[in-house]
């Protein structure tokens, strides 16, 4: 047993965590129409700076990479300025914050994008999924068929990740996380159900791995691999994703990522999934591992002591407990999760949950 506790400090690559309570990335839909950072977002992240590390909601690296309404981007200089307000607020409270980079690929509808943006993917296969839009008072629309990327275009998409990483560091983020699951672009290239290409970006397992690995390498090239983590969930069916052999795919992916020396791997257990993700990642990944999904603080502590992970990410508990890490340390009562207004605009259900001292 490791006897590591949730309150033990950690260092993942170049990232310093004052405890091992990680705030998981959660879409909250509070950005402006064009992905700009709002005042309530600054306060939201500041309130949760007691976490050992905050991982932001997914941030799109290009206009083509946006899929959901009211999600934030990091493409333009004004967005850098907005995110700087967030990182300044978190750092003023002694926190560490990394930005999750999320290109949705085919998981998109036109009404959530700028008129000049398009939806792209590895192959012309639409996701059997619907997304919410603010148009007409709120409608659900089916995902569109993506335009398959030409081989010569793909290095440019990889460069979007690199450039977004540069902007994240300019905005003061301590690190970045590559979102490689939930059916988004890296997962689309990885998976047999979404990648039907016959060129060097598909067609074989090594071809399907190539996009993910080259994106991670490009991000690591900005300021070293110690500031770059990644998230994978083998067997995750979200957003109509399917792979014929997720265990084989992700063992090969992790073997290809190990030499890069990235800061951490972040995974979610799927109790009813086809793969034991914690076991697979612990076996195949050589670096620090963040585990996630519906852990109670007690179960999380046990998991760390057993060596199943090196930190635990909490999502829903952080919605209603902005001081979750402090409550865990004090063994204080936790507020129950309130699912109302999770994705609504405005402060209700976002900023109105008190800390224990209030």
Which residue, 116, 37, 39, is CA-closest to 72?
37
Taken in order 122, 156, 15, 356, the sign of the CA dihedral is negative
Residue 298, Cβ density class (10 Å: 0-12 exposed, 13-18 middle, ≥19 buried): exposed
Please give the Cα distance from 119 to 136 (Å, whole number).
Answer: 22
Q: Which two tokens stand for residue 231?
A: 């998230």
Catalytic site residue 44? no
With b meaning 16 or more CB within 10 Å and e meaning fewer, what string describes 144-176? bebebbeeeebeebbebbbbbbbbbbebbbbbb
End-to-end, the C-alpha distance of the chain in Å comes to 38
The HSE-up count of residue 15 (CA atoms within 13 Å, CB side) is 32
Cβ 66 vs Cβ 22: under 8 Å: no
Please give the Cα distance from 109 to 11 (Å, whole number).
Answer: 39
Q: Which two tokens stand for residue 120?
A: 């792209």
State the virtual CA torsion across 285, 288, 291, 295 in degrees, nearest 10: 150
Give Rg (Cα) of the chain: 19
Please give the Cα distance from 18 to 22 (Å, whole number).
Answer: 10
Which residue, 166, 281, 229, 167, is CA-closest to 13?
229
Q: Which residues on adjacent β-strands are paired with residue 147?
A: 120
Give the three-state DSSP class for 98: strand
With b meaning 16 or more CB within 10 Å and e meaning fewer, what string describes 192-225? eebbebeeebbeeeebbbbbbbbbbbbbbebbeb
Catalytic: which of 68, 184, 264, 350? 184
Please give the Cα distance from 184 to 106 (Å, whole number).
Answer: 7
Q: Which residues on adjacent β-strands are paired with residue 291?
A: 267, 312
Q: Active-site positions?
A: 184
């Amino acid at each position: 047993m490791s006897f590591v506790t949730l309150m033990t400090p950690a260092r993942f690559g170049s990232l310093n965590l004052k405890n091992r309570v990680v705030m998981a990335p959660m879409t909250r839909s509070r950005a402006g129409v064009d992905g700009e950072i709002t005042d309530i977002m600054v306060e939201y992240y500041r309130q949760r700076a007691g976490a050992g590390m905050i991982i932001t909601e997914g941030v799109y690296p290009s206009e083509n990479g946006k899929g959901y309404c009211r999600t934030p981007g990091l493409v333009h200089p004004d967005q850098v300025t907005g995110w700087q307000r967030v990182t300044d607020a978190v750092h003023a409270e002694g926190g560490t914050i990394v930005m999750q980079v999320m290109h949705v690929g085919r998981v998109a509808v036109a009404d959530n994008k700028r008129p000049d943006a398009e939806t792209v993917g590895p192959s012309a296969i639409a996701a059997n999924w619907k997304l919410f839009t603010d148009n007409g008072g709120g409608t659900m629309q089916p995902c569109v068929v993506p335009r398959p990327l030409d081989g010569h275009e793909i290095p440019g998409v990889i460069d979007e990740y690199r450039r977004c990483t540069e902007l994240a560091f300019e905005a003061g983020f301590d690190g970045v996380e590559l979102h490689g699951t939930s059916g988004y672009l890296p997962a689309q290239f990885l998976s047999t159900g979404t990648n039907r290409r016959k060129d060097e970006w598909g067609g074989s397992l090594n071809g399907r791995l190539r996009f993910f690995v080259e994106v991670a390498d490009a991000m690591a090239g900005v300021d070293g691999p110690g500031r770059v983590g990644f998230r994978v969930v083998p067997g995750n069916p979200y957003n109509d994703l399917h792979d014929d052999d997720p265990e084989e795919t992700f063992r090969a992916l992790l073997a290809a990522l190990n030499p890069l020396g990235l800061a951490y791997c972040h995974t979610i257990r799927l109790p009813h999934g086809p793969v034991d993700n914690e076991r697979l990642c612990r076996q195949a990944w050589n670096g620090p591992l963040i585990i996630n999904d519906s852990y109670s603080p007690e179960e999380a502590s046990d998991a760390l002591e057993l060596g199943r992970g090196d930190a635990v990410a909490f999502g829903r508990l952080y919605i209603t407990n902005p001081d979750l890490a402090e409550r865990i340390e004090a063994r204080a009562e936790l507020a129950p999760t309130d699912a109302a207004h999770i994705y609504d605009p405005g402060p209700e259900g976002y900023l109105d949950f008190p800390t224990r001292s209030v």
